Amino acid sequence: MDGKKYFDYYLKAMEIRKTPEIESAIDNQTKLSKETKALMSKRYEIEDKLLELYYSISVDGFDKSIFDSNELPEHERLMQINALWAADDPRINAMKEKLSQSGKQDEISKLEEEYGKVLFEFFTAMIKLDSALNESREKLFSPEYKAKLKEYANNGVLLYFLETPDAPILSNDITLDDTIESFSFNDFISLKTLLCAFLTVENPSPSMSRKITDVYSVIDCLECEQYCSAARTIFALLESEHKNCSSAMDNYFTLDKKFRKGEQRAERIQQLLDSLKTQEYYSQVWDMVNPMYRDILNSKSNSFVDRNAIVHGDYYSKKMDIGKNDVIKLILLFINMRIISDHIQLYCEMFQKTLNYTEILLTQKLKKTKK
């Protein structure tokens, strides 16, 4: 793509963005996103403080003395603690005494109260943002635009991360190749912008820090035309999201096997999406992401890239001769996989936390009633 073609692509995209309805949607999404990020930062700040306090208090032997089994799912452990507390079981006194001896009881109590409030505000903000995005996609994406997105996806180019219909893919002057090449023009500036939110996460966890390093590595490899190296790293990022997404409810109601094969993980993700029936958009995206990733994982002949040849170093194979656009397709797949993974993990966490707090409150009310 030359400068003139890119400029034409950019102007068409800007014309779309200046539509009053789209400008309004973007302004609203930006506002809700800022509110959500602020609450998320506050939530993790309090959570880190609480964890630091919890870990500073020794609880050696509590599991054996309190729980029926050392290996219990999270929900069952909560239910057993609630039952012991409601019955004023002497075993709970050991925990209370340990907490009292630490001198940190008041600080923990205050932080837990604050944490519950901020957590509720964060979840509420996240739901508002998600609803705004769903509304935009429902109202602003015409049937023709949705059909074009599916046509692109069938050709290995996933644009389902779009929150407003900015890409001028309905223009007769814009081809699929133009859209792919727009991401690499001018030292991959559009691709870097797209990845910016991922690369600028505040206070990332150790695993997230490694992922960020890998994404930077992918960009460096692209700029140096080291496409196989870039692809290998993206395969690792994709598998990580696939695993995280499939394990969102692991060990909550039942003790689950954490090590699943690709097909088993996909089935688990489908089950989780089916339980979020109101979130149709993410199911639609998954219907495109799943078969594409499955073909790549299994190195099917109709896949645009042969994973086995690249990962296992089949240097005699022409299948290793991938190009820049193949890598960009993989990055778009990763971004779409990421939005599905984030969505499922967030809503599963909402469910778990809400159920936990509800059962704690019910136990408190029942205990007060007995008195």
Residue range 267-292, pLDDT digits in tens:
999 999 998 866 688 999 999 999 99
pLDDT tens digits for 292-342?
Answer: 999 998 887 677 888 988 998 888 888 888 999 999 999 999 999 999 999
Joined tokens for residue 129: 């943002």
Joined tokens for residue 212: 């960020």
CA distance 268 to 248: 9
Q: What does the pLDDT read at residue 301?
A: 67
For 135, the enclosing helix (H) or strand (E) is: helix 105-140
Spell out the residues 6+ positions from residue 371 whose beta carbon is closer than 8 angstroms to its own. Answer: none
In this structure, of 6-10, 59-63, 251-255, the range with the lowest mean pLDDT score is 59-63
Joined tokens for residue 24: 């309004």
pLDDT at 126 over 80: yes
Of residues 202 and 169, which shows the higher confidence score?
Answer: 169
Task: Provide the residue type at 89 as one letter.
Answer: D
Hey, how many other C-beta atoms are within 10 angstroms of the C-beta on 42? 16
Residue of 304, 12, 331 lying closest to 174 (CA atoms): 12
pLDDT tens digits for 16-56?
Answer: 999 999 999 999 999 999 999 999 999 999 999 998 888 87
Percent of the chain clearing pLDDT 90 (strictly above): 63
Confidence of residue 62 (pLDDT cuts 50, 70, 90): low
DSSP class of residue 305 equals S
pLDDT tens digits for 63-99?
Answer: 566 776 678 899 998 898 888 888 888 777 777 777 7
Using left for φ > 0, alpha for ψ between -120 and 50, and beta otherwise, residue 2 falls in beta
Domain boundaries, the chain: 183-371
Helix (H, G, I), strand (E, B) or coil at 61: coil
Q: What does the pLDDT read at residue 61?
A: 57
Q: How far is CA 295 from the centre of its chain?
A: 22
Q: What does the pLDDT read at residue 34?
A: 94
10 φ, ψ (degrees, to nearest 5): -65, -45
Q: What does the pLDDT read at residue 85?
A: 84
pLDDT tens digits for 174-200?
Answer: 999 999 999 999 999 999 999 988 888
Of residues 122 and 299, which shows the higher confidence score?
Answer: 122
CA distance 297 to 289: 12
Average pLDDT, the chain: 89
Spell out the residues 6+ positions from residue 252 whose beta carbon is closer than 8 angstroms to its own. Answer: 73, 74, 75, 352
Q: What does the pLDDT read at residue 299?
A: 80
Contact present, 307 and 320 (Cβ < 8 Å):
no
CA distance 330 to 249: 27
Mean pLDDT within 97-103: 74
Q: What does the pLDDT read at residue 60?
A: 62
pLDDT at 226 over 80: yes
Joined tokens for residue 61: 């032997």
Mean pLDDT within 170-176: 94
Contact present, 370 and 88 (Cβ < 8 Å):
no
Q: What does the pLDDT read at residue 370?
A: 67
Hey, how many other C-beta atoms are within 10 angstroms of the C-beta on 291? 16
